[in-house]
Amino acid sequence: MNVFRTDLFKDKVAFVSGGTSGINLEIAKHYARLGAKVAVMSRSQEKVDKAIAEIQAEGGVAVGYAADVRDFDAVLNAVEATVDSLGKLDIVISGAAGNFMCPAEALSPNGFKTVVDIDLNGTFNILRASYDYANAGCSMISISAPQSTGAYWGQAHVSAAKAGIDMLTRSLAAEWGPKNIRVNAIVPGPIEGTEGMERLSPTPEMVAMVKNSVALRCYGSKQNIADMATFLASEAASYVTGAVMYCDGGQVLAGGGVTHAYAEQQAKAQ
Ligand code: HXC
Ligand code: NAP
């Protein structure tokens, strides 16, 4: 159900990294339904084409580019192409991420580096490339994760990267505020029907444990995150910057996802 004015983002242009599947695609679709012209970016041209087709099938305006967030020049080209084709840049989502479960003692240096490169360095690349083209009033939103505050078994690489995103959010908000560029982050809790939860909670027992760790005792929906991203990109959030906002059903209240029982289940699922 849409609770927002349907022309909320008329004449706005949004760029969504990782916008070809899961949570980020839902954000792109929601923005398009509210009138924004959207650009999606991820590595796979096939996924880019499919996402564009899905948004257009709903009547939205969409373009897309295949690029890796680890390649600054490729990111810059995608941002420039977006501004060339759609005219400007009002909203930026940095949502591309990589994740796999692996206990730290089994993680190779390259495995650790890969996730930090995609999640943290990739977020810097997206926001830095966008900065030169961002309109005054631009809203930049990064997608963080509960791992940025809680310690989760097999997630040291992700925790390091996402905690970095939270501080990058605050730092850029402070530096870019005078240009009226707002920089915020969303921390989704466990979200139904996503690649992320497929990877982290592959068994029914683990799903039950995760739900039990959430105050509201359920998974969230992709729409829940799209709604938060809509608020943050809208005029309603014009005095909100540097905020790391939880949309997690209260999962953070329990301090994170590590329990011995859960870690045992994760180890068995490897
Ligand atoms: C241990 C692994 C591994 C695994 C890869 N590596 N998978 N180590 N366990 N399961 C190691 C490799 O051995 C290699 O190190 C290094 O990581 C790089 O691997 P590549 O396969 O070359 O990397 P790449 O092709 O760049 O792919 C990146 C990826 C991949 C992260 C590994 O899974 C991916 O593309 N993921 C994108 C989709 C995704 O992850 N979606 C979920 C996001 S959700 P060596 O030393 O061998 O060279 C999310 C959820 C958050 O973030 C929270 C939910 C609550
Ligand atoms: P997803 O469907 O796997 O989405 C990841 C997206 O990022 C895909 O579009 C993927 O497309 C793209 N991507 C991955 N690596 C990339 C790279 N190097 N360069 C460019 N694009 C890249 O995952 P999701 O579960 O919806 O998660 C989306 C975001 O929410 C992530 O930031 C994740 O950390 C966060 N999050 C998710 C959950 C959850 O419950 N799922 C909870 C908390 C936080 P390509 O493969 O084409 O590159």
Question: Which residue, by CA, sits nearest to atom 29 of ligand 1?
Answer: 98
C-alpha dist (Å) from residue 60 to 20, 27, 51, 200, 216: 15, 13, 11, 32, 34
Distance 164 CA to ligand 2 centre (A): 17
**DSSP line for 141-208:** EEE--GGGTS--TT-HHHHHHHHHHHHHHHHHHHHHGGGT-EEEEEEE--BTT-HHHHHH--SHHHHH
pLDDT value of position 265? 76
Ligand 1 contacts CB of residue 200 (under 6 A): yes
CA-based nearest residue to 143, from 107, 100, 196: 196
Question: Which residue, by CA, sits nearest to atom 5 of ligand 1?
Answer: 111
Q: Which CATH class is domain 13-192+221-255?
A: alpha beta
Neighbouring residues of 4: CB distance < 8 A, sequence distance ≥ 6: 34, 227, 230, 234
Distance 178 CA to ligand 2 centre (A): 31
Q: CA 189, CA 247: separation in Å to the nearest integer?
A: 6
Inter-residue contact 205 to 268 (CB < 8 Å): no
Question: Which residue, by CA, sits nearest to atom 3 of ligand 2?
Answer: 195
Inter-residue contact 210 to 257 (CB < 8 Å): yes
Strand runs (DSSP E) across the chain, as ranges? Answer: 13-17, 37-42, 61-66, 91-94, 139-143, 182-188, 244-247
Task: Report phi then psi at 197, rounded to 5.
Answer: -75, -30
Distance 211 CA to ligand 1 centre (A): 25
Neighbouring residues of 179: CB distance < 8 A, sequence distance ≥ 6: 134, 136
C-alpha dist (Å) from residue 159 to 112, 115, 125, 184, 239: 11, 10, 19, 18, 28
Question: Which residue, by CA, sits nearest to atom 2 of ligand 1?
Answer: 111
Q: How do the domains of the chain map onto residue ranges?
A: 13-192+221-255
Residue 119 DSSP code: I
pLDDT value of position 258? 64
Ligand 1 contacts CB of residue 112 (under 6 A): no
pLDDT value of position 80? 98
- Tell whether the torsion through CA atoms of 156, 157, 163 and 167 is positive or negative: positive
10-residue stretch averages of pLDDT, the chain, 270 residues long? 95 98 98 98 98 98 98 98 98 98 95 98 99 97 96 92 98 98 98 96 91 95 98 98 98 75 74
pLDDT value of position 260? 65
| pTM, 2 dp | 0.98
The tokens for 193 are 């029907």
The residue whose CB lies within 8 Å of the most ligand 1 atoms, and thus the one to mutate among 21, 26, 47, 100, is 100
